[in-house]
Structure 1
């Protein structure tokens, strides 16, 4: 692997860091103050639209998308350091139109959408004019195995009729959310990975009901949110089907590979900022007659955090490199490994930072508590740790090895 950045990526890194320092970090508090003071908590704070306009004008827009006219044309490896920088701020990804679940949904539409689907939904998503949601997980079943999904998509003439209950549909509460990608059962008797399909469901379709926002360790993440939604006799045109009936798993694999590694890239940026906060706090505070930074346990926490961040970054870059060179399927072990390693690492670093901040660490003053909640959630999002660990083990056990006599 070549660790040197191309001139194009080096320029983007420099410009992105400058934009973060000049526009994003100073406006984090403005964003949360505006959100807290809004009459409608599900409306995006005005500062967000202002920052998005600035980012678009600066050419720092849709950096995640490798192969579409509206993207930056970067490989996964090239995008990695940029995504890490965005992960340092809870508002940055959206500023640059690089936030989930929109990124995954845009990739799905760019890769599998018809010209009509792209014109209606992809173009406004690329422009940052609307937002979207992804409806897959269900409360009644263990959705870590998507074969358990029971929501139905049934053909009826020129339409499909959809029934089911979904939850953890992130982004559905945002007033700008206009479209959902829905995964459901079309062929119950087909082979296991040909039973599911994905279909586009406009959020304002009759029969779609937002039941409630779900909280994550007490955070509802408005205006984004994670919603439980019911679909009751929801009727959409047959041409809303993505790629074709029975191809939901095929789409999911194309969507989740890049999505998982984006989560890991952002988690590294989150951990870096937590480590910086840890160091600053240690230098600023005195306990038992000397700065915390001079005490052995603090130094161990700092060193351990630095080592873990660097290890996770190297594994992320390797996974990204393999995705670019041999494809997502061949890189599935590396994607699974980093999906386990990066959130666990970020959670551990944040936990140490919380401890060093004392009471302030569990408050809302430093962002560490919410960061920890995010890192912990990532150990479930896009497949829980246990699923990825099992896949890693199965791939390892399938290798041909020789028994060595020691």
Structure 2
């Protein structure tokens, strides 16, 4: 009905088995915020994901991936996202996944050899450095303060970035900086003397591989071949990166919220109160029904945008709507799951409270819901789009 391929059933089955028997058993609260430990577990699980034939579903087959369409990818990323470790193990987690897209589309042959290929193998990690402290770029990229000025044979970059997902122990960063020709993306090696990760910013979501770093670029010298793509096209490249990145987040987090509700449903069937299981109470039943409605609507919005991606059509409008709706819907689902489980849902005896914490930032990451609503409304009113 939705144009999924015939091989999807088998791939989905393998991913479900891998997540249930390899990824979920390796989860533990102690891994959260422990960047080195998370890296070690990721390395071990990636070897198993390769052996299971489920590695890098987003990449073309000639690069070692599964070559899945966006529609098939939606299903597979949802399955992987049931576990905190699933997308990391399958090398389809942010920020490396969208960075691979940037490098595939805009990287030179040398850049693909030096950066994309090790990233695909899982030998290194990367980050995308755009967000800055006030008054710099955040939801409004045009406020970009980091600068890059030309010098003979290269550039000198100065600026500060923060909340850069994956920055801690990343091998390189894709840095957005303002030049006289316009915003430009640069590949900066982490061992560059002018590049420094100042700190790992402790955050509500603990299973972000590489944490959330604050980065200082101080007289950071890079050669001309560090420019990714064309000079002055940085904002365009960032937008092309963000649209598929938002959709991929939706796919993964639908899986995470679904798992929280699975756990809660099993709990209310066996937990008795006032002489009957919680599942017999209408208020519990309403929460279950509303959660399945939210998840179903989230899948359909995501699958529709994925189908348009497969057709090569712009999803600027649809990805923004999906991002707003899904980010809020999965949060509602996880919140209901925690509420259904009472005190147990607040504890770390089950993954539900951790899932709730992981999902909350999605309303901010890749553009706050308020920004997307404002942008959508302006576009609708300007173009007189009909509801």
Q: How does 1:76-95 map to 2 (within 5 A)?
A: 76-95=70-89
* 3-state DSSP of counterpart to 2:113: helix
Q: Which residue of structure 2 lines up, in the alignment, with residue 27 of structure 1?
A: 26
After TM superposition, give the deviation of residue 20 of structure 1 in Å. Answer: 1.9
For 1:248, which of 234, 239, 259 is the aligned residue? 234
Q: Which residue of structure 2 lines up, in the alignment, with residue 239 of structure 1?
A: 225
Residues 279 and 44 of structure 1: CA distance in aligned 2, closer, same or farther (over 3 Å): closer
For 1:396, which of 364, 380, 383 is the aligned residue? 380
CA–CA distance in structure 1, aligned partners of residues 47 and 237 of structure 2: 31
Q: Which residue of structure 2 lines up, in the alignment, with residue 208 of structure 1?
A: 195
* 3-state DSSP of counterpart to 2:199: strand
Listed as ranges, the gaps of 5+ residues in structure 2 are none
After TM superposition, give the deviation of residue 221 of structure 1 in Å. Answer: 4.4
Q: Which residue of structure 1 lines up, in the alignment, with residue 147 of structure 2?
A: 152
For 1:334, which of 318, 329, 333 is the aligned residue? 318
CA–CA distance in structure 2, aligned partners of residues 70 and 124 of structure 1: 12
Residues 91 and 359 of structure 1: CA distance in aligned 2, closer, same or farther (over 3 Å): same
Kept in 2: contact 1:65–1:74 (CA 8 A)? yes
After TM superposition, give the deviation of residue 172 of structure 1 in Å. Answer: 1.3
What is the number of residues matched between the two proteins? 385
After TM superposition, give the deviation of residue 326 of structure 1 in Å. Answer: 4.1
Kept in 2: contact 1:160–1:238 (CA 8 A)? yes
After TM superposition, give the deviation of residue 277 of structure 1 in Å. Answer: 1.2
CA–CA distance in structure 2, aligned partners of residues 386 and 130 of structure 1: 35
| TM score, norm. by length of structure 1 | 0.90
After TM superposition, give the deviation of residue 283 of structure 1 in Å. Answer: 1.2
Within the alignment, does 1:161 sit opposite 2:156 as a pair? yes
CA–CA distance in structure 2, aligned partners of residues 386 and 196 of structure 1: 24
CA–CA distance in structure 1, aligned partners of residues 111 and 125 of structure 2: 15
For 2:166, which of 168, 171, 193 is the aligned residue? 171
Listed as ranges, the gaps of 5+ residues in structure 1 are none
* 3-state DSSP of counterpart to 2:171: strand
Q: How does 1:119-138 map to 2 (within 5 A)?
A: 119-138=113-132
CA–CA distance in structure 2, aligned partners of residues 96 and 221 of structure 1: 15
1:1-44 deviation line (CA, Å, top 9, x unaligned)? x3253222222112211222222222224xx55x48x9x85344
CA–CA distance in structure 1, aligned partners of residues 103 and 171 of structure 2: 14
Q: Which residue of structure 2 lines up, in the alignment, with residue 288 of structure 1?
A: 274
Kept in 2: contact 1:43–1:223 (CA 8 A)? no
CA–CA distance in structure 1, aligned partners of residues 60 and 382 of structure 2: 32
After TM superposition, give the deviation of residue 216 of structure 1 in Å. Answer: 2.1
| TM score, norm. by length of structure 2 | 0.94
Q: Which residue of structure 2 lines up, in the alignment, with residue 343 of structure 1?
A: 327
* 3-state DSSP of counterpart to 1:63: coil
CA–CA distance in structure 1, aligned partners of residues 163 and 208 of structure 2: 13
1:309-363 deviation line (CA, Å, top 9, x unaligned)? 1011111100111121142x3x211111100011101100111111112122222
Residues 220 and 62 of structure 1: CA distance in aligned 2, closer, same or farther (over 3 Å): closer
Kept in 1: contact 2:207–2:358 (CA 8 A)? no
Aligned-residue CA RMSD (Å): 2.0
Deviates more, 1:6-15 or 1:117-126: 6-15
After TM superposition, give the deviation of residue 284 of structure 1 in Å. Answer: 2.0
